[in-house]
Structure 1
Amino acid sequence: MIEALVGASGHEVTGVRTGAEAIELALKEPYDVVLLDLMLPGTMDGFEVCGRLRSDPSTKALPIVIISALDDKESRERAERAGATAYYAKPFRPLELLEYIGSLEPANRPAG
């Protein structure tokens, strides 16, 4: 649903299933933003993905937006410690997410 929403608003979207795929692509391709769930299939959750992206110089400044069903204080704090830029709890307001993505002007995006 999120892929379709963001894609329909004119953004190019690349979807992946696992955290390992997300890291692999983010390190190879210049993305404007990463939309990341915390609960992922495989061995790596979204907290770990976020932390690994933050620890790599090429993705350190990349905006990482968490979109998760986890809406508790501990999850939000863990995401913040991992380096998340923003946090949207499901169900979220799609227009609010699109406005946020749109606010990431090219001049403010990390060089990649």
Structure 2
Amino acid sequence: MKKILIVDDHADIRRLIRMTLEFEDYEIHEAANGDSALERALILQPDFVLMDVMMPGGMDGLEACRRIRAEPSLRNTHVILLSARGQAQDKEAGLKAGAHDYLVKPFSPLRLIDALASLWLVD
């Protein structure tokens, strides 16, 4: 069973993503900000991190992505950034931070499942 860490400062967004994935074969965990995302990722060693870009606190999604991707113990973790910011430079910044994919909110549940499935096949 693949582990997913959902990271978003809005509990309702985390719940929607959880509901989208609950019928798939995933063990789902949650974090509310970049700092706790990094802490939880180090403990859980998730296969996937689905992370909002814009979050309050000391670490936004881009910085959390950089740190996750730089951590040797998390080298097999795939990061998919989720953001309302959909300009080309936003997506480019996400991919430069190490994200494997970048989905613009609102995205369809099917698009999220497809993104996970395509990365799962790469494993």
Match of 2:19 in 1: 4
Query: Which of residues 78, 84, 92 in structure 2 aligns to 1:63?
Result: 78
Distance of 2:34 and 2:51 partners within structure 1: 9
Question: What residue in structure 2 maps to residue 80 of structure 1?
Answer: 95
* Counterparts of 2:39 and 2:52, CA distance in 1: 16
Displacement after TM superposition at 1:20 (Å): 0.7
4+ long deviations beyond 4 Å? none
CA–CA distance in structure 1, aligned partners of residues 76 and 45 of structure 2? 12
Q: Which residue of structure 2 lines up, in the alignment, with residue 50 of structure 1?
A: 65
Structure 1 residue 39 and structure 2 residue 39: aligned? no
Q: Does 1:97 align with 2:112?
A: yes
TM-score, with normalisation over the residues of structure 2? 0.79
Identity score, percent: 35
Consecutive unaligned residues in structure 2, runs of 5 or more? 1-15
Q: What is the total number of aligned residue pairs between the two structures?
A: 107
1:27 maps to: 42
Indicate if the aligned counterparts of 2:80 and 2:102 stay in contact, CA closer than 8 A.
yes
Compare relative contact order (CA 8 Å, sep 6+) and give the higher one, 1 or 2: 1
TM-score, length of structure 1 as denominator length: 0.86
Residue 75 (structure 1) shift = 1.1
Q: Is contact 1:17–1:41 with CA below 8 Å preserved after alignment?
A: no
Superposition deviation, residue 26 in structure 1: 0.6
Matched letter for residue 39 of structure 1:
M
